[in-house]
Amino acid sequence: MTGREVIASLIRDKTCPERMGLFEDFWDDTQAAWELEGLPRDVDLHDYFNYDLQFIDGDGLNTEAFVDGGRRIAEDDETYTELNGWGARMRYWKHKPGTPEHLSFDLTNEAVWQAKYREPLLAFDIRRLGDLETKRANYRKVMSSGRFAVWTNLLHFEIMRKAMGDIIMLEAMCLNPAWIRDFCDVVTENIIRHLDALFTEVGLPDGMWLFEDMGYTQGPFVSPAMYRDLILPYHTRVIDFVHGRGIPVVMHACGKVTPLLPYIEQAGIDCLEVLEAKAGQHVVTMSESIGRRIAFMGNLDIRAFESNDPKQLEAEIVPKLAAVRAKRIPFVFHSDHSMPRTVRLKTYESALELFRKYGRY
């Protein structure tokens, strides 16, 4: 079976083919570190590790209010500061991965939203699709690779976080839920309109990968009731649109999202990724807690990889794959986080050997 067939079976059909799927995501500096450990220079990791899935393009749509509003406004040896298309200033590392520092936000209340940022999101803007020639070239390349090809995009929590930051967003959910609903409604229509154009201008993918971090280690950012009332209707609309084009949906959600599972399931996703183990989540428990059959990707504790200890690695991977196999859960082998440079290449290769040995149904 090709990678596309394996993932389609798992995610689209929710059936278990001959083996589990294989995919991984990496921090930006991991490949360079692994080249010092013997990885051939500049290889495509999808080819080298024979992954089953690939992002056509990591950028997604431009979902900021002002498409051309982003620019670098300061830098030093270690970091740079960007003003984004929401008027927010964020500081990033130059030479290593990590979350940005939130420095300031312009979008602090509904009045600013109405006066400045709502209007630009209402119109269709071809620039939101990005460089179409590059996207077409990437699309042709990935679609011809035999791998399951996905477009990616952000969803509402991620977009709000870039627009107004965590504190303003979370406070507004209590103080002005009508504003949050209006924000999500406008963003939803913007996403659907521009995804539709992307599918028409470039092509339909095998799947849609939606980024939506909704929790931290101890729990979701918001209560299940708040998710149901303020976010679920908009998740559902985006997913319904994608399904309407015959495309299954993978949702990436960091943190402990278990309390939200009934509603995430209701939103219609086909696969949930990344199932952080350090948040106390286990793929089998999660699978058994929901009524509908969906696929899962991730859940292999990155701390076991980072130990670079074969025994710890085996103790994490082998029983989990055995449990997945016993329950016949559609599953894609993936860490519960992006692979950092602190994991040795040899460790990762050992993990893949365990996958090849125990990752069959």
Partner 1 sequence: MVVNGRTDASSPYPPELIGQEGCDELTRKALEAGVPPTDILNQGLVRGMKTVGDRFREGEIFLPEVLMAARALTAGLAHLQPLLRSGALKSRGTIVIGTVAGDLHDIGKRIVSLFFEGGGWNVVDLGVDVPAGRFITAIEKHQPFAVGLSTLLTTTMASMERVAREIKFRYPAVKVVVGGAPITAKFAAQIGADAWSPDPQGALDYLNSLLP
Sheet containing strand 89-93, strands side by side: 71-75, 79-83, 89-93, 101-104
Q: Is 262 in the site for partner 1 (CB under 8 A)?
A: no
The CA distance from 120 to 269, in Å, is 29
Q: Is 136 in the site for partner 1 (CB under 8 A)?
A: no
Binding partner 1 by CB under 8 A: which of 5, 69, 89, 91?
A: 91
The CA distance from 21 to 206, in Å, is 15
Q: Is 144 in the site for partner 1 (CB under 8 A)?
A: no
Tokens of 189: 């229509």
Q: Is 72 in the site for partner 1 (CB under 8 A)?
A: no
Smallest gap, in angstroms, from Cβ of residue 274 to partner 1?
Answer: 13
DSSP β-bridge partners for residue 71:
83
Q: Is 342 in the site for partner 1 (CB under 8 A)?
A: yes
Count CA within 13 A, CB hemisphere, residue 188: 19
Contact characters 2-31, partner 1, x per CB under 8 A? -------------------------x----
Q: Is 32 in the site for partner 1 (CB under 8 A)?
A: no
By CB under 8 A, the residues from 205 to 224 that bind partner 1 are 216-223
Q: Residue 203 or residue 340: which is nearer to partner 1 going by CB?
A: 340
Stretch that binds partner 1, among 3-11, 142-150, 174-182, 265-273 (CB under 8 A): 174-182
Contact characters 96-125, partner 1, x per CB under 8 A? xxxxxxx-----------------------
Size of the site for partner 1 (CB under 8 A): 39
Q: Is 326 in the site for partner 1 (CB under 8 A)?
A: no
Smallest gap, in angstroms, from Cβ of residue 158 to partner 1?
Answer: 14
The CA distance from 319 to 327, in Å, is 12
In this structure, are residues 132 and 139 in contact, taking their beta carbons and an 8 Å threshold? no
Q: Residue 98 or residue 310: which is nearer to partner 1 going by CB?
A: 98
Q: Is 341 in the site for partner 1 (CB under 8 A)?
A: yes
Name the region of 55 (left: φ>0; alpha: ψ -120 to 50; beta: rest). Answer: beta
The CA distance from 243 to 212, in Å, is 18
Q: Is 93 in the site for partner 1 (CB under 8 A)?
A: yes
Binding partner 1 by CB under 8 A: which of 210, 306, 351, 355?
A: 306
Q: Is 171 in the site for partner 1 (CB under 8 A)?
A: yes
In this structure, are residues 83 and 71 in contact, taking their beta carbons and an 8 Å threshold? yes
Checking DSSP bridges between strand 79-83 and strand 89-93, what pairing results, if any?
A: antiparallel
Q: Residue 27 or residue 49: which is nearer to partner 1 going by CB?
A: 27
Q: Residue 237 or residue 337: which is nearer to partner 1 going by CB?
A: 337
The CA distance from 59 to 118, in Å, is 22
Helix (H, G, I), strand (E, B) or coil at 332: strand
Neighbouring residues of 316: CB distance < 8 A, sequence distance ≥ 6: 277, 300, 301, 304, 305
Q: Residue 96 or residue 328: which is nearer to partner 1 going by CB?
A: 96
Q: Is 344 in the site for partner 1 (CB under 8 A)?
A: no
Q: Residue 4 or residue 337: which is nearer to partner 1 going by CB?
A: 337
Q: Is 179 in the site for partner 1 (CB under 8 A)?
A: no
The CA distance from 14 to 23, in Å, is 17
Sign of the Cα pseudo-torsion (183, 252, 166, 195, in order): negative
Binding partner 1 by CB under 8 A: which of 167, 318, 322, 326?
A: 167
List the one residue out of 220, 230, 215 whose CA is nearest residue 175: 230
Would you tell me which residues interact with partner 1 (CB under 8 A)? 27, 79, 91-93, 96-102, 166-167, 170-171, 173-176, 216-223, 226, 259, 278-279, 302-303, 306, 337, 340-342
